[in-house]
Structure 1
Amino acid sequence: MKAWQITETGEPGTALHWTELDNPAPGHGQMLVRVAAAAANFPDVLLCRGEYQVKPALPFTPGLELCGKIVALGAGCERFRVGDRVVGTPVMPHGAFAELSVLDADGACPAPPDLSDAEAAALTIGYQTAWFALHRRTRLAAHETLLVHAAAGGVGSAAVQLGKAAGARVIGVVGGPGKADYCRRLGADLVLDRHSDDLVAAIKNYTDGRGADVVFDPVGGEAYTTSAKCVAFEGRIVVVGFASGAIPAPALNHALIKNYSIIGLHWGLYKGRDPRLVQDCHHELTRLAATGAVKPLISERLSLSHVPDALARLGAGSTVGRIVFHP
């Protein structure tokens, strides 16, 4: 099979190599999947750089999210059959940027029938992260105000849609007019451009001085500083990543004086600690997809040959929505 491989970490344009490999064999409890669509995620950029919290042994194929059809089952796989259409996160070193990949059967889910391969491929990491952040960690309630940073990105766009589905008012923060238009398409009630708007003043004005009840922050750095200035009394800031590269050092005395919570979310931990919750989340996302409440907006559908360039653009912050590759 053909696959992108990393033999030495670095920027995507130099670290990735198009390689002919033997077809992988599924182990016990695993399944071999022919990739129909592989979604790009910011952690894929970090994998290339060797900066992700999970560091697979070299060489490996990146690609953390896919939709495909099962072509072979290892021993002990009883939930699925050959030919089933599934979504999930691959088992390294057999990532999704390849013609074939390997999934753990326990961590895979049936692909939502109401979504295309590209849309289904983009439903796992971003939407599950946003769902756990908003419903399990912060308990977002209807009629509360949700502030989403990087609202035109992969995980931010999921948070916007899920916030609207929960009945919240959603403020999306983006970087640039093109991203603002995209965020409006997602359904955000107010869209702010961090390059040109006074974020704190605009958020306070929109909420009659109260601030945001829940802040969804996958950026860190200056975005977190803004969050602390405009979070409401008894508000919750959920930290899901540091796309800016800057990890904040929050002033806990400020959280005490203003009476707000700082909450962390690492979605991947649930897969090992309580996979039932991940399956339950997928069932809910499938239901929402069937009603049209959530639908990943795919900005680019590309062949696998475009992986290095697309990941480079994703790492530079110049993309919107979800990029999906089709082998």
Structure 2
Amino acid sequence: MRAILSKTPGGPETLVLEERLDPTPKKGEVIIDVRAVGVNFPDTLIIEDKYQFRPDRPFSPGGEVAGVIEAVGEGVKGLFKGDRVIAVPGWGGLVERLAVPAATVIKMPEAMSFEEGAALIMTYGTSYYALKDRANLQPGETLLVLGAAGGVGAAAVELGKAMGARVVAAASTNDKVEFALDLGADNGLIYPSGQMDKAAQKELSGEFKLATGRDGADVVYDAVGGDYAEPALRAMDWNGRYLVVGFPAGIPSLPLNLTLLKSVSVIGVFWGAAVMRDPAAHAANMADLFRLYAEGKIKPRVSRTYPFEQAGEAIKALGDRQAMGKIVVTIAS
């Protein structure tokens, strides 16, 4: 089989396409004939050794896949050859065939395409865990989403609306804001690109307050970080919850006196670790997401697909923050 491999730390240009031996299923495993691979921000980090996990090389990036079960190992129950499934290995997915523990596999709804299946779990799983379990978002509350056109940000916009919140979408271009409004956001604003001085940050905070209303945001979903964090924190309401999701613009330094003055909670969101620590809660959340999908309240937006041979270009496009919604790598059957 063919595999996209990271053999040395570096950017997408360091990835290589090689032939590897086909996997065989061990006890409790299934082999997936991979048809689509979702590209996520951790893929840009893990190949540079900047992610929380550092797998031994050579390894394949690719944290979520959709495909068809090709073989079933000893002791596996309820899964059969030919089943259409989703799996979230964390990494290793940019291969033509993948061995995964059967317990981690989720059957796909018949109406769901492989591209949608590969674009669902990590972004919506992260955002639902953040909004439901970490922030306890309530109907009628105001949610400010930073990076609202990216994978997790777009999912947060849709889920926020599905949960009954008023959603304000913030992004770096008019096209991205329009994209978020099409997803259902109630209001949107464009924030400046690049670094900001204190005067620019103060001005942005005023824009956040204007967009979210007199009292400010009850919940901030920050998938951007950098100089955008403090203005968003300053624009929060009393007892607000600030969700720390990601840092493509850099790791911010927050003035903690603001959390005291507004009784604001700063809350970390590490979905991958939460899944491992509480599989039952994760399964319940997945059931909710599939229900919302069936009801038409959420739908993965795959804005761009790349063939398997161009997987490095797909990761680069995400790292360059060009994407709106999800980028997916497809593999011909």
TM above 0.5: yes
Q: Distance in 1 between matches of 2:90 and 2:251?
A: 28
Between the aligned residues of both structures, percent identity stands at 38
1:159 paired residue number: 156
Which runs of 5 or more structure 2 residues have no equivalent in the other structure?
Answer: 194-199
**Structure 1 residues 207 and 227: alpha-carbon distance in aligned structure 2, compared to 1, 3 A threshold:** closer
Q: Distance in 1 between matches of 2:101 and 2:204?
A: 43
Q: Distance in 2 between matches of 1:254 and 1:272?
A: 33
CA RMSD of aligned residues (A): 1.6
Q: Distance in 1 between matches of 2:96 and 2:285?
A: 28
Moved more, 109-118 or 189-198: 189-198
For residues 171-320 of structure 1, the aligned pairs below 5 Å read 171-195=168-192, 198-244=203-249, 246-320=250-324
Following superposition, the deviation at residue 155 of structure 1 comes to 0.6
Structure 1, residues 254-290: CA drift from partner, whole Å, max 9, x if none? 2111111111111111222111111111111110001
Q: Distance in 2 between matches of 1:46 and 1:144?
A: 33
Instruction: Show structure 1 runs of 4+ deviating over 4 A.
Output: none
1:55 paired residue number: 54
Q: Distance in 1 between matches of 2:173 and 2:322?
A: 10
1:8 paired residue number: 8
2:47 alignment partner, SS class: helix
Following superposition, the deviation at residue 91 of structure 1 comes to 6.5
**Structure 1 residues 91 and 195: alpha-carbon distance in aligned structure 2, compared to 1, 3 A threshold:** closer
Following superposition, the deviation at residue 87 of structure 1 comes to 0.8
Q: Distance in 2 between matches of 1:125 and 1:39?
A: 9
Q: Distance in 1 between matches of 2:284 and 2:110?
A: 17
2:283 alignment partner, SS class: helix
1:124 paired residue number: 121
Q: Distance in 1 between matches of 2:169 and 2:257?
A: 27
Following superposition, the deviation at residue 162 of structure 1 comes to 0.2
Q: Distance in 1 between matches of 2:88 and 2:312?
A: 20
Structure 1, residues 115-165: CA drift from partner, whole Å, max 9, x if none? 211111111001000000000110101111001111100110000000010
**What is the TM-score with the length of structure 1 in the denominator?**
0.95
**Alignment length, in residue pairs?**
323
Q: Conserved in 2, the CA contact under 8 Å of 1:114 and 1:289?
A: no
Which residue identity is paired with 2:239? E
Which runs of 5 or more structure 1 residues have no equivalent in the other structure?
Answer: none
- Whether 1:99 and 2:104 are equivalent positions in the alignment is no
Following superposition, the deviation at residue 52 of structure 1 comes to 0.9
Q: Conserved in 2, the CA contact under 8 Å of 1:109 and 1:282?
A: no
Q: Distance in 1 between matches of 2:287 and 2:3?
A: 31
2:139 alignment partner, SS class: coil
- Whether 1:27 and 2:26 are equivalent positions in the alignment is yes
2:111 paired residue number: 114
Q: Conserved in 1, the CA contact under 8 Å of 2:35 and 2:66?
A: yes
